[in-house]
Structure 1
Amino acid sequence: MSETLYRPRLGSVPLTDNQQQYQDCLREYRTPGQYVAFDTERASGIRYLDKAYLIQAKGQSAPLVLLDPLTLPDLSDFSAACKNSTWVLHAAKEDLECMEWAGLQAPHIFDTQIAAKLLGYEHVGLGAVTEEVLGVKLAKNHTRENWSLRPLKQSWLDYAALDVEYLVELAVTLKEQLETAGRLPWAEQEFAYALANFHRPTDTDPWRHLKGAGKAKSPRQLGLLRELYYQRDQVAKERDLAPSRVLPNRDLVDLVLQPPRSYQELSARPFMKRRQLRRNARLWWQAIKKVRSLPSEQLPGKAPLRKLHEITAIATWEKIDPARAQLYRTLKEDVATWAQENQIWAECALSPSAIRQVAAYWEKSDDTATLLEVAAARSWQKEIFLPRFEKICTHWTRG
């Protein structure tokens, strides 16, 4: 059994948090090598924005560095220094956007998690893959720290450094395995897609998608949900706190479903016992009174009906269109069967959204290729599943 590592091979790495140290770092990264490993540490669920509060990097021919984006907010020079390298990340989608805020824009990526899924590894977290592929066990003892705090403890920095310490070696080994399996072209297409599509889609009505929001049915409830959501968001933004720390989702929804009739009744709610939550009580009460007085025409209505391909539950499809629900089920089972036979994660074989697109709108043979294209299926996926889906859909009847 591998011994757990708690610090990099060459020992602890100090935090680069001033311009002089940063310039030294840039000199060391004049020729970083073919690959540069990157990772970030955030304060998700603590701060308002899910941005990076620490950026780790290690070049194939350059030393491991820990960059502080709080004192070095523009790392575009570092990005330029690494522009001719492939950036190695694990679960890149989680890091690319917050890296971009700090001036880091990846030219090309190698995502070790995607590679592991394409190779059929059962566990694809960074620690699990590193241990299985390289025989190196990384410590995971600081996964939930508040990385926005300063100063950062050296034990935290050691933990963060380990996330990139072996990442280039991991990528090189996984690339060899992909080549042996004949799946490197698949991986390259997946990496390109991930790099082009990491930005979060714009949500015009985010309050409708709050956990538990579906319980709000009446226009008055929906109006209060909207008002409380945006009031909370404004406070969270001003105080740089995650919205759930200003007012937890379950308590917000509870206020919507069972609005207090008086300020005293509001003050008696269980969440008001916490000082941090109690400080905004009058704001919530003002929101409740405001929505009570709104004329009905200013209240929101029900959300527009979702298109069939946007609905993920097959049980809901059964109620809307049983025949297409059966097609959806058959296509999904076919992808799962192929994935199992070829030892690859089903979600990498073909995305659930692509399966739904075909199941929802197929009418004739010529539709299959177009629908897979609309769903952004990659070339390798279309080569595999276009003939399989054609066969299934051609034999499908609406009943």
Structure 2
Amino acid sequence: MTDDPATTDEEQQEPPAPLLELRDGLPDVVETPSALQAVADRLGAATGPVAIDAERASGYRYTNRAYLIQLRREGAGTLLVDPVAVGDLAPLAEALDGTEWILHAATQDLPCLADVGLHPASLFDTELAGRLLGFPRVGLATLVEEVLGFRLRKEHSAVDWSTRPLPTPWLEYAALDVEVLIELRAAMVDQLAAADKQQWAAEEFENLLGFEPAVRAEPWRRTSGAHRVRGRRGQAVVRSLWETRDRIARERDVAPGRLIPDSAIVAAAQAQPTSPQTLLGTSGFHGRGARRYAKQWVAAIDEARRLPEKALPGRAPRPDGPPQPRSWADKDPVAARRLTLAREAVTQLAERRRLPVENLLTPDHLRRVLWAPPGSRDPRVLADRVADQLRGYGARPWQIELTTEALAGAIIDADAQPEPVPDAGDATP
């Protein structure tokens, strides 16, 4: 049978996935200790894993605190908790004790949940499971549509969750984020088993239980565009303005970028205005935050201008680890060959196993081993020592098992390769 020539491509497309709706309606937000105790009792009497999510006011507030916590468990339905209004969440922590949590992108929510006394005994991360299963996109909405066949609303993902009262459409959006996490987990458990990756996932989830956000020694150096500011004096202005902005933002609990953007700090470090009037004429210094604190911004610049030479910032401290890979060929050509060979081998492994290469082995772990490998070149001894190195860096057993042979082989092969022959036109001796 031939296709009807009158049929358009649009008509031949599959119908869109149905929009996910709340099956039990929108629950009331828990805002009092007595209401919290009641829902905690319901949650504790229910069974199975607990879907959990948290909404923060990123981009609006200085802190990373949770302004809404959403939970769902079979037998308890969906629960919405306002941790700011309730205060002590001890009853909720007791109800969750010993349960498995289901989260999406767990590293985003674990810190703010820990801040209110909620810690998982075990967890399942649907985003990480998606990576291990080789999904090219692992956002929650994408996975829900790919795995379960429903579309999720995402129009309120970047709103100010510190707003009170929270609008009903926002609450519906938040409740939907846990509506199908239990079903999504069940489907992905089956897929992990079918791909023989359930042990990988178990080790990854166990590792996440110890997650802590990185603390940077000199966070001001991450000011976007700061590399364009020349000289140590200019860098001192960047530091002083960044620290002043951070202090004001912390005191007001407002996101630093809402006072002045990084681009304003860079522009002021380059121009170094000496009065509020000239400061407010500098690029980026507009809006309430710039005007209200103009005297403090100028004072920060003056402070940096008066610093003695010995107090000026030096070069950024060298990170703990090997140099940037682009410099390896000059610093250690053999190490550069090791890195090239190992990257090729690990990339091929990742493609065969259908997962991102960075999930097969953390890039930093790979670079550390190849920059300073064990001294032995006996294949068996070398493999054992490479495995020990990876273990010491925090690689999981499944990663070590899959990649040790490839890394050891790259180390041995790099030593055996001759030095590259200089180009005939290269006059370097």
Query: TM-score, normalization: structure 2?
Result: 0.88
Choose the corresponding residue for 2:60, options 40, 43, 46.
46
> How far apart are 1:263 and its partner, in Å?
3.6
CA contact (8 A) 1:2 1:135 kept: no
CA contact (8 A) 1:85 1:108 kept: yes
Larger mean Cα displacement after TM superposition, 258-267 or 354-363: 258-267
Choose the corresponding residue for 2:74, options 37, 60, 66.
60
The percent of aligned pairs where both chains have the same amino acid is: 35
Question: What is the aligned partner in structure 2 of residue 329 from structure 1?
Answer: 340
Larger mean Cα displacement after TM superposition, 387-396 or 325-334: 325-334
CA contact (8 A) 2:260 2:289 kept: no
> How far apart are 1:272 and its partner, in Å?
3.1
CA contact (8 A) 1:32 1:85 kept: no
Choose the corresponding residue for 1:88, options 96, 102, 108.
102
CA distance in 1, matches of 2:89, 2:371: 45
1:208-227 mapped onto 2 (5 Å cutoff): 208-227=221-240
SS in 2 for 1:252: helix
After superposition, the C-alpha distances for 1:302-354 in whole angstroms (9 at most, x for unaligned) are 1223355363xx32434543432332232222222111112112221111111
Question: What is the aligned partner in structure 2 of residue 183 from structure 1?
Answer: 197
Structure 1 residue runs of 5 or longer lacking an equivalent are none
Choose the corresponding residue for 1:300, options 286, 290, 313.
313
Question: What is the aligned partner in structure 2 of residue 127 from structure 1?
Answer: 141
Question: What is the aligned partner in structure 2 of residue 282 from structure 1?
Answer: 295
Structure of larger gyration radius: 2
Query: TM-score, normalization: structure 1?
Result: 0.94
Choose the corresponding residue for 2:375, options 359, 364, 385.
364
SS in 2 for 1:276: helix
Instruction: Give the residue type in structure 2 aligned to 1:222.
Output: Q
Instruction: Give the residue type in structure 2 aligned to 1:333.
Output: E
> How far apart are 1:35 and its partner, in Å?
0.2
SS in 1 for 2:118: coil
Decide whether aligned partners of structure 1 residues 215 and 306 sit closer, same or farther in structure 2, where only a CA change above 3 A counts: farther
1 or 2 for the larger relative contact order (CA 8 Å, sep ≥6)? 1
> How far apart are 1:16 and its partner, in Å?
1.1
1:180-259 mapped onto 2 (5 Å cutoff): 180-197=194-211, 199-259=212-272
CA distance in 2, matches of 1:209, 1:322: 31
Question: What is the aligned partner in structure 2 of residue 168 from structure 1?
Answer: 182
Question: What is the aligned partner in structure 2 of residue 390 from structure 1?
Answer: 408
CA distance in 2, matches of 1:263, 1:152: 38
CA contact (8 A) 2:47 2:75 kept: yes
> How far apart are 1:258 and its partner, in Å?
2.6
Structure 2 residue runs of 5 or longer lacking an equivalent are 1-14, 377-381, 420-429
Decide whether aligned partners of structure 1 residues 29 and 309 sit closer, same or farther in structure 2, where only a CA change above 3 A counts: same
Instruction: Give the residue type in structure 2 aligned to 1:188.
Output: A
CA distance in 2, matches of 1:262, 1:30: 61
Tell me which stretches of 4 or more aligned residues in structure 1 moved more than 4 Å: none
Instruction: Give the residue type in structure 2 aligned to 1:193.
Output: N
1:380 aligns with 2:398: yes
SS in 2 for 1:122: coil
1:5-44 mapped onto 2 (5 Å cutoff): 5=19, 7-44=21-58
After superposition, the C-alpha distances for 1:95-118 in whole angstroms (9 at most, x for unaligned) are 000011112111110011111111
Instruction: Give the residue type in structure 2 aligned to 1:164.
Output: V
CA contact (8 A) 1:33 1:85 kept: no
